[in-house]
């Protein structure tokens, strides 16, 4: 099963050197344990572009879709046999980055 672990923050690029080292260690552990699929940090929401092509003509709007104090600052995509393992991995990820995280399974679930 594939799971998205979303990192929730109110700033971007705010990790301290110690947090970055802990994240690197966590990433290495994910790879060694066979859970790693992909991960990345994101730029601030103000750098985003919203695209709406529901009417057959793309309308592009600068900035985030939703105004909020917290947003998706980064993520991990992990492979885990079940939700309990994914939650344990997310707990380790939260500790490594010192941020709250959210876990969601992918539809269809498998790689």
**DSSP 8-state symbol, 14:** -
CA distances (Å), origin 1, targets 32, 51, 96, 106, 107? 18, 30, 23, 8, 9
Distance CA 2, CA 108 (A): 9
9-62 pLDDT tens trace: 987 667 889 999 999 999 999 999 999 999 999 888 888 898 999 999 999 998
Cα separation, 50 vs 27, in Å, equals 30
The residues near 47 (Cβ < 8 Å, ≥ 6 apart) are none
Query: What is the residue-averaged pLDDT of the chain?
Result: 91
Answering whether pTM is above 0.85, one says: yes
- The Cβ of residue 92 has, within 10 Å, a number of other Cβ atoms equal to 17
């Amino acid at each position: 099963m594939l799971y998205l672990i979303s990192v929730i923050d109110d700033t971007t690029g705010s990790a301290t050197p110690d947090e970055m080292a802990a994240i690197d260690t966590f990433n290495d552990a994910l790879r060694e344990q066979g859970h790693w699929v992909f991960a990345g940090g994101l730029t601030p929401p103000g750098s985003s572009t919203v695209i709406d092509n529901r009417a057959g003509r793309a309308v592009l709007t600068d900035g985030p879709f939703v105004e909020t104090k917290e947003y998706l600052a980064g993520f991990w995509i992990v492979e885990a046999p079940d939700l309990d393992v994914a939650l344990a991995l997310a707990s380790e990820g939260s500790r490594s980055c010192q941020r709250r995280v959210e876990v969601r399974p992918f539809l269809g679930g498998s790689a």
